[in-house]
Amino acid sequence: MTLRSNIASNRSHAATGSSAFAAIILAALAATSAQASEKVVRTPDGDVTVLTAAGGAQQKILSSASAHPFATEKQRAAATPLAWPEADTVAPKGAPESALPPARRPFLDTSSAGGAALPFAEYLARQQFGEAWRKIETMQDDALQGAKDAGEKDGAHHPYIRYPGNFYTFQWTAAPWNKIGKLYFTTPSGGSSYCTANVASGNSVLVTAAHCVYTRGQGFNRNFVFVPADRYGVAPYGRYGWQSATVLNEWINNGGRRWDVAVIRLAGEATTGQPVTNYVGWLGRSWDWGYSQSIYSHGYASNLSTQYTHICAGQSYSSSWEGTDVLVQGCDMTYGSSGGGWLRNYTPNSHGGNHVNGVVSGPHIGDFGNSYVGPRFSSANIVPLCNVAGC
């Protein structure tokens, strides 16, 4: 997708200050956040709002373990999963299926391919993040026992099957699982939280849920840190600050599941400066596809395990209760899975296929813990975001 936008307004956005930040380091952190700028960008497909970090500040702060709220494993482990927002707009009960858009736009290529990491990416990561790799490998025995203890939660759950995601070594070092990770952030109220996010662009752009990026009625979340293949708080491919975060104005003004998608452009790795795509590559994206797709959705679901992802495999479908551009899938994952990618053309151990077609937004109406919904990627949501962010 090409950039097709002109800036309508540009205003400085002051971060929420707090007298509680008594420590000099935290005060400095708040001052740095205050330098971030916010602007509205108008595009033919819809308006978006972009928060841009002060030049290089997030990456520099992240390099100092004492200054950033998510620099250490202990700090990241203390972050809590973000609760799902209420559904703000819902189609009226009994709305006809004919009100939903057509299955897909014909004769158009509405997908973008994923890509491979550097040929020597695993070697590079082992050399540069050796302590993290050794720590993860020594955890394997304990983790396997934990999975056995939770085994009765796995298996067939009509109409889907759920199983561990990046749990085993052969998964967290391979595509597509290593391109999915935890997104840590500070909420406007000051809490430390996390969601799931996906590297879905060769330009190091994350795709996640909008409620993980912007808290409606309060403003942008801050201090974003992404850890691909996060396992037990360890970062085998490093930690990444952010350059910009972009959400749809429809999400800010009206909410609603169809608008609950956002993108974050990442800074280089905190210690090496290299882009995340050098280590893990990136997933593909697709939009304007039909509601009924074979989907593998991923997430760090706190009701199952906060330490690794789970996958729900099943068929997505539409619901007149949920309305236009909202996908539904059977799955028992809950908080923490927000922003997790819904992958079509699921192709394990491959950098091809694996198109992100939506992300986890929240529970299906009246079915919490049994099914959830997400925005169907379309020309109305993911396209304007990516046009502006440069996916």
The mean per-residue pLDDT over the stretch 287-309 comes to 95
Contact 244, 383 (CB under 8 A): no
C-alpha distances out from residue 289 to 107, 262, 323, 346, Å: 12, 19, 16, 15
User: Is it the case that residue 99 has pLDDT exceeding 80?
Assistant: no
pLDDT at position 79: 92
Query: Which SS3 state, helix, strand or coil, does residue 134 take?
Result: helix
pLDDT at position 62: 66
CATH number given to 6-14+22-389: 2.40.10.120
Closest by alpha carbon to 284, among 76, 109, 120, 46? 109
CA angle, 42 then 45 then 50, to 5°: 40
The mean per-residue pLDDT over the stretch 250-255 comes to 97
Domain boundaries defined on the chain:
6-14+22-389
CA–CA dist 299, 311 (Å, integer): 7
Tell me the residue length of the chain. 391
Contact 283, 113 (CB under 8 A): no
More confident residue, 108 or 168: 168
CA–CA dist 374, 357 (Å, integer): 9
- φ, ψ for residue 134, nearest 5 deg: -65, -40
The lowest-confidence range among 116-120, 163-167, 217-221, 299-303 is 116-120
Closest by alpha carbon to 262, among 4, 13, 50, 70? 50
pLDDT at position 157: 38
**Could you report the per-residue pLDDT of 300-334, keeping only the tens digit for each?**
999 999 889 999 999 999 998 899 999 999 999 99
Matching residue, tokens 């593909």: 284
Specify the pairing of strand 192-199 against strand 80-81: parallel
The lowest-confidence range among 17-21, 274-278, 285-289, 294-298 is 17-21
User: Is it the case that residue 171 has pLDDT exceeding 90?
Assistant: no
Strand partners, 372: 329, 363
Specify the pairing of strand 355-359 against strand 341-344: antiparallel
Strand partners, 52: 37, 244
Contact 336, 209 (CB under 8 A): no
pLDDT at position 142: 58
- φ, ψ for residue 223, nearest 5 deg: 55, 45
Greatest pairwise CA separation for the chain in angstroms: 59
CA–CA dist 49, 6 (Å, integer): 12
User: Taking the CA atoms of the chain, what radius of gyration do you get in angstroms?
Assistant: 20
- φ, ψ for residue 14, nearest 5 deg: -85, 130
Q: Give the burial class of 43: count Cβ atoms within 10 A of its Cβ; 0-12 exposed, 13-18 middle, 19 or more buried.
A: middle
Contact 261, 375 (CB under 8 A): yes
pLDDT at position 144: 52
Residues in CB range of 318: below 8 A, 6 or more apart: 97, 100, 291, 292, 326, 327, 328
More confident residue, 118 or 102: 118
pLDDT at position 172: 85
User: Is it the case that residue 239 has pLDDT exceeding 80?
Assistant: yes
Q: Over the chain, what is the mean pLDDT?
A: 82
The mean per-residue pLDDT over the stretch 149-168 comes to 65
Contact 208, 359 (CB under 8 A): yes
Structure token digits, residue 308: 């690794």
